[in-house]
């Protein structure tokens, strides 16, 4: 057992070497790599608002555009108003996904313990690594260099003994930076950190914190554990630990998928039950294929419908036993749940089926051959 800032923890937690890799303006950088003429100009990854009547949102923007105040999740129209000269490039997710898997190939040279967060972000546990390098800083440098040499992209890395600090560290010096946080650095580093930068403190909680006089980690440190739990519940419980540099979450490299699903968007809206049935059959076949590939089955089927006016409904059906992995069965239940939602008259722009409550097909409850004519007159 060890003690860290007043909290007793397992000393092995302090011996971990965790790297958070965060690609710098990932989508925008890939586009600059593919289109060198974009370099040095404000670049916005979004459908051009002049061409589609102003719909759409910004997926990301390069650093030139960010300096002007353009950021992700902003309406593309708004970005256009800020900078009419900016280049608008429609996102190419197929390409980004491909680059992301190249990125993972590089990670796998160092460790199998990789927890992907998004296409452009991952935690790596390099406490034990394939290259048997003791220094995590050296591993981080090698990864950064290899990504640059092989993919011509830059990333920022954060190195620490837990995920919370590694993530804050990678954000500290962007782009192409590297930051190391050791147990002794925790209090000075977190004391000056604005409260909104603590994970879990978002738009809703930040004003409440500020009301309590908590502006940075410094004031957070002054609150007692019980006070924080009383005021912020589970979040308070974790913040008390985090601000003292304690985070025992492992890098979840074997994380299982919680659900398997498929959805389709339709340019031409689905207006009739016939069209819905055809599409549901198709989607059910995709879901069943993926389930079979992954050797999973589930007990809960969820249907998702988005209407023309963007109202979105989901309905679910849970059975006592696992739903059979075949397209016809999944379609049957999908069709049954669809009946419980409104019809198709409003015009459907998106339809999806997802199987959740998954378990590996590690066992199979055997079935009586009730409907198999061949074995007739043969005892089982």
Residue 315 CB coordination number (10 Å): 16
Considering the rule CB under 8 A, would residue 374 count as an interface residue with another protein? no
Closest CB 370 distance from another protein, rounded Å? 4
Contact yes or no for 157/103 (Cβ under 8 A) = no
Considering the rule CB under 8 A, would residue 370 count as an interface residue with another protein? yes
Bridge-based pairing of strands 178-180 and 43-45 is: unpaired
Contact yes or no for 296/359 (Cβ under 8 A) = yes
Q: Which is nearer to another protein, 310 or 371 (CB)?
A: 371
Among 332, 341, 350, 356, binds another protein (CB under 8 A): 332
Contact yes or no for 304/259 (Cβ under 8 A) = no
Q: Which of 32, 121, 132, 321 is catalytic?
A: 121
| CA 320 from centre of chain | 30
Closest CB 314 distance from another protein, rounded Å? 21
What would the two tokens of residue 204 be?
Answer: 């809703």
Residue 115 appears among annotated catalytic residues: no
Contact yes or no for 96/33 (Cβ under 8 A) = no
What does the alpha-carbon distance between residue 205 and residue 219 come to, in Å, rounded to a whole number? 15
What does the alpha-carbon distance between residue 330 and residue 343 come to, in Å, rounded to a whole number? 19
120 assigned to a ligand binding site: yes
Q: Which is nearer to another protein, 205 or 325 (CB)?
A: 325
The three-state secondary structure class of 142 is helix
What would the two tokens of residue 291 be?
Answer: 């389930």
Considering the rule CB under 8 A, would residue 95 count as an interface residue with another protein? no
Among 5, 154, 329, 356, binds another protein (CB under 8 A): 329
**C-alpha pair distances (Å), 167 with each of 25, 338, 344, 368:** 16, 42, 45, 54
Considering the rule CB under 8 A, would residue 336 count as an interface residue with another protein? yes
Considering the rule CB under 8 A, would residue 53 count as an interface residue with another protein? no
Considering the rule CB under 8 A, would residue 313 count as an interface residue with another protein? no
Any idea what DSSP says for residue 55? -
Q: Which is nearer to another protein, 1 or 366 (CB)?
A: 366
Closest CB 22 distance from another protein, rounded Å? 33
What would the two tokens of residue 109 be?
Answer: 């040279």
Any idea what DSSP says for residue 323? P
Considering the rule CB under 8 A, would residue 311 count as an interface residue with another protein? no
22 assigned to a ligand binding site: yes
Q: Which is nearer to another protein, 248 or 256 (CB)?
A: 256
Any idea what DSSP says for residue 57? B
Contact yes or no for 282/154 (Cβ under 8 A) = no
Q: Which is nearer to another protein, 143 or 301 (CB)?
A: 301
Considering the rule CB under 8 A, would residue 339 count as an interface residue with another protein? no
Closest CB 254 distance from another protein, rounded Å? 13
Considering the rule CB under 8 A, would residue 342 count as an interface residue with another protein? no
Among 134, 255, 367, 374, binds another protein (CB under 8 A): 367
> Contacts with another protein: how many residues (CB under 8 A)?
25
Tell which positions 214-253 bind another protein, by CB under 8 A: none
Residue positions forming the annotated binding site for Mg(2+): 22, 120
Point out which residues bind another protein (CB under 8 A).
Answer: 319-321, 329, 332-333, 336, 359, 361-371, 375-380
- Give the residue numbers marked as catalytic: 121
């Amino acid at each position: 057992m060890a003690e860290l800032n007043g909290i007793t923890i397992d000393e092995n937690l302090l011996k971990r070497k965790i790297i958070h890799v965060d690609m710098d303006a990932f989508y925008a950088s890939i586009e600059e790599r593919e289109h060198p003429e974009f370099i040095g100009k404000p670049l916005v990854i979004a459908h051009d608002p002049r061409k589609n009547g102003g719909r759409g949102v910004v997926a990301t923007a390069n650093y030139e555009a960010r300096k002007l105040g353009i950021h992700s999740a902003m309406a593309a129209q708004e970005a256009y108003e800020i900078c009419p000269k900016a280049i608008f490039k429609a996102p190419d997710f197929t390409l980004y996904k491909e680059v992301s898997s190249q990125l993972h190939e590089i990670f796998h040279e160092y460790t199998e313990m990789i927890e992907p967060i998004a296409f452009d972000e991952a935690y790596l546990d390099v406490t034990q690594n394939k290259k048997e390098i003791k220094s995590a800083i050296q591993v981080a440098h090698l990864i950064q260099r290899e990504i640059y040499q092989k993919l011509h992209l830059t990333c920022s890395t954060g190195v620490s003994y837990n995920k919370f600090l590694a993530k804050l560290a990678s954000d500290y010096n962007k782009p192409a930076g590297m930051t190391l946080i050791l147990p002794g650095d925790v209090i000075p580093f977190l004391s000056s950190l604005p409260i909104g930068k603590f994970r879990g403190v978002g738009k809703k909680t930040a004003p409440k914190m500020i009301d309590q006089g908590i502006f940075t980690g410094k004031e957070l440190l002054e609150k007692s554990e019980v006070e924080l739990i009383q005021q912020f519940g589970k979040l308070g419980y974790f913040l008390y630990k985090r601000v003292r540099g304690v985070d025992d979450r492992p890098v979840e490299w074997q994380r299982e998928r919680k659900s398997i699903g498929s959805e389709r968007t339709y340019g031409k809206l689905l207006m009739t039950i016939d069209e819905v049935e055809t599409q549901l059959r198709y989607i059910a076949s995709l879901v069943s294929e993926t389930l079979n590939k992954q050797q999973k089955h589930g007990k809960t089927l969820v249907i998702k419908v988005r209407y023309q006016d963007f109202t979105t409904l989901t309905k679910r059906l849970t059975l006592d036993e696992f739903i059979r992995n075949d397209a016809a069965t999944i379609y049957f239940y999908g069709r049954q749940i669809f009946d419980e939602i409104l019809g198709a008259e409003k015009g459907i722009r998106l339809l999806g089926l997802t199987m959740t409550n998954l378990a590996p097909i590690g066992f199979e409850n055997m079935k009586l051959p009730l409907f198999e004519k061949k074995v007739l007159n043969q005892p089982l």
